[in-house]
């Protein structure tokens, strides 16, 4: 009898051992997400999170990746570079994620980057635009957002249409803001325009009247404004109070014109905005069907429409990582990193495909995103006259 029970027990153990790998094979694929979910730019970070969740749900509804569901492990960097570095380490060491998307602001992304290299985990950069992110020499970085230089080149063709003769700059005092000033200033000079004064503001600042006063006295015709939508709203209102007569062009794709119409009202009238997604005209996007589906899903979930110009980034970032995992055939960091070089698909913004940027042997990946310009006119988001004619 004892021998019989021992035999049964051994058979149960053997069957259990055979089923463990199959069970493990169905464990979720973890993807880390680092965004500013609190702090001065929390609205933007939460919109990116919402877009990432749509991508996750769409992937899982299609059966996941190789039959495994995608799970997002989300960390708040609190709009702080130090917190971004800590978040990256937590995701890698504690949660064992094989890939990360992040970290919205350039300063936050730059702070997280050493952790990626230390532990050997790839990160898809969905928003940050400082040139140093891909040029510093970190082979674990793959950016789908345009660096400021690429964005400035996208605007160069419209300098004459916009009649820019002398431009001033007001930018947030971060890697993003400083990089935008340098990139756009260089392009304007090459196009024959004059660059006037440059003023900076802290990320949490709410009173920019002193900077606006200085800009008002330069005699320029255009103001380039680089910061998050919350601060753009304040600048536009304060500029209106001071009766600043300028064309205003926001850079970085984070202006959310619909939000400006709601919050800045008449102060936003006539302003131009460089964007990477046009939810008002989804049919004009590279994949109109996908863009329309994303807008419809966003609205179905009750998310604020004004968040779409940030939310698409979260979708495309997660979709990029998912595509790499499919190509790699496994959720292992180095395999995903290698597969990211082979990624080629169309996201909400447009085609995603990486080219090398940075020092030889340590190149980062940089995709070439689609870039658009819209204008607020009569309280609505429109295509500028020079683009509407085309």
Model confidence pLDDT, tens digit, residues 154-181: 999 999 999 999 999 999 999 999 999 9
Average pLDDT, the chain: 93
Looking at the structure, tell me whether residues 242 and 158 fall in a common domain: yes
237 domain-assigned: yes
Are 4 and 73 in contact, with CB atoms under 8 Å apart?
no
389 domain-assigned: no
The DSSP 8-state label assigned to residue 218 in this structure reads T
Q: Can you tell me the distance from the alpha carbon of 252 to that of 309, in angstroms, rounded to the nearest whole number?
A: 11
User: Locate tokens 């209102």: which residue?
Assistant: 237
Helical residues (DSSP H) of the chain, grouped into ranges: 2-25, 42-61, 81-89, 106-119, 132-135, 148-156, 175-190, 209-216, 229-241, 257-264, 288-300, 308-328, 333-340, 385-388
Looking at the structure, tell me whether residues 196 and 214 fall in a common domain: yes
Looking at the structure, tell me whether residues 138 and 161 fall in a common domain: no
pLDDT above 70: percentage of residues in the chain: 93
- CB atoms near residue 278 (< 10 Å): 22
Looking at the structure, tell me whether residues 221 and 331 fall in a common domain: no
Are 85 and 111 in contact, with CB atoms under 8 Å apart?
yes
CA distances from 363 to 128, 254, 277, 280, 334 (A): 17, 27, 27, 36, 15
374 domain-assigned: no
Are 187 and 213 in contact, with CB atoms under 8 Å apart?
no
Looking at the structure, tell me whether residues 137 and 203 fall in a common domain: no
Residue 2 has pLDDT above 90, yes or no: no
371 domain-assigned: no
The whole domain housing 229 covers 150-275
Are 24 and 18 in contact, with CB atoms under 8 Å apart?
no
Looking at the structure, tell me whether residues 69 and 42 fall in a common domain: yes
Looking at the structure, tell me whether residues 42 and 142 fall in a common domain: yes
Q: Can you tell me the distance from the alpha carbon of 40 to that of 203, in angstroms, rounded to the nearest whole number?
A: 7
Looking at the structure, tell me whether residues 190 and 270 fall in a common domain: yes
Residue 9 CB contacts under 8 Å (≥ 6 apart), including other chains: none
Of 18-22, 198-202, 321-325, the least confident: 18-22
List, for residues 51-98, the tens digit of each pLDDT value: 999 999 999 999 999 999 999 999 999 999 999 999 999 999 999 999
- Residue 194 pairs with which residues in a beta bridge? 166
List, for residues 263-306, the tens digit of each pLDDT value: 999 999 999 999 999 999 999 999 999 999 999 999 999 999 99
Looking at the structure, tell me whether residues 83 and 160 fall in a common domain: no
Q: Stretch 14-40: mean pLDDT, rounded?
A: 73
Looking at the structure, tell me whether residues 76 and 168 fall in a common domain: no
Are 342 and 118 in contact, with CB atoms under 8 Å apart?
no
Looking at the structure, tell me whether residues 297 and 205 fall in a common domain: no
Q: Is 27 left (phi over 0), alpha (psi -120 to 50) or beta?
A: beta
80: closest CA among 134, 133, 38, 118? 38
16 domain-assigned: no
Cis peptide before 103 (omega within 30 of 0): yes
115: closest CA among 95, 132, 131, 91? 91
Looking at the structure, tell me whether residues 155 and 271 fall in a common domain: yes
Residue 50 has pLDDT above 80, yes or no: yes
- CB atoms near residue 242 (< 10 Å): 14
Last residue of a domain, one of 227, 246, 275: 275
Q: Stretch 134-153: mean pLDDT, rounded?
A: 96
Q: Stretch 241-267: mean pLDDT, rounded?
A: 95
380 domain-assigned: no
Residue 10 has pLDDT above 70, yes or no: no
CATH number for position 295: 3.40.50.2300
Q: Stretch 114-132: mean pLDDT, rounded?
A: 97
List, for residues 335-351, the tens digit of each pLDDT value: 999 999 999 999 999 99
The band of 25, judged by pLDDT with boundaries at 50, 70 and 90, is low
pLDDT computed for residue 386 by the predictor: 85
Domain count, the chain: 2
């Amino acid at each position: 009898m004892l021998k019989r029970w021992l035999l049964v027990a051994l058979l149960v153990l053997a069957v259990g051992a055979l089923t463990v790998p199959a069970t493990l094979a169905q464990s979720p694929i973890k993807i880390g997400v680092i965004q500013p979910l609190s702090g001065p730019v929390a609205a933007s970070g939460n919109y990116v999170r919402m877009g990432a969740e749509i991508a996750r749900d769409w992937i899982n509804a299609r059966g996941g990746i190789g039959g495994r569901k995608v799970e997002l492990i989300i960390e708040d960097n609190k709009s702080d570079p130090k917190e971004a570095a800590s978040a990256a380490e937590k995701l890698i060491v504690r949660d064992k994620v094989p890939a990360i998307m992040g970290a919205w602001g350039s300063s936050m992304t730059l702070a997280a980057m050493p952790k990626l290299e230390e532990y050997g985990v790839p990160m898809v950069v969905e928003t940050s635009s400082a040139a140093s992110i891909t040029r510093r020499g970190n082979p674990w970085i793959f950016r789908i957002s345009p660096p400021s230089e690429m964005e400035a080149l996208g605007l160069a063709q419209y300098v004459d249409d916009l009649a820019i003769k002398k431009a001033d700059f007001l930018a947030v005092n971060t890697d993003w803001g400083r990089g935008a000033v340098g990139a756009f200033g260089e392009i304007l000079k090459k196009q024959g325009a004059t660059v006037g004064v440059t003023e900076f503001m802290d990320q949490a600042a709410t009173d920019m009247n002193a900077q606006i006063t200085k800009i008002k006295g330069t005699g320029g015709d255009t103001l380039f404004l680089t910061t998050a939508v919350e601060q753009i709203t304040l600048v536009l209102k304060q500029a209106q109070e001071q009766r600043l007569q300028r064309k205003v062009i926001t850079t970085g794709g984070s202006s959310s014109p619909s939000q400006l119409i709601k919050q800045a009202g008449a102060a936003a009238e006539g302003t131009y905005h460089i964007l990477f997604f046009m939810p008002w005209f989804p049919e004009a996007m590279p994949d109109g069907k996908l863009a329309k589906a994303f807008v419809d899903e966003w609205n179905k979930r009750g998310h604020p429409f004004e968040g779409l110009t940030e939310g698409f980034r979260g979708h495309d970032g997660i979709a990029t990582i998912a595509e790499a995992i499919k190509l790699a055939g496994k959720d292992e960091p180095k395999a995903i990193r290698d597969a990211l070089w082979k990624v080629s698909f169309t996201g909400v913004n447009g085609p995603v495909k990486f080219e090398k940027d940075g020092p030889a042997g340590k190149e980062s990946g940089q995709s070439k995103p689609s870039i658009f310009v819209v204008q607020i006119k009569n309280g609505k988001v429109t295509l500028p006259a020079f683009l509407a004619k085309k």
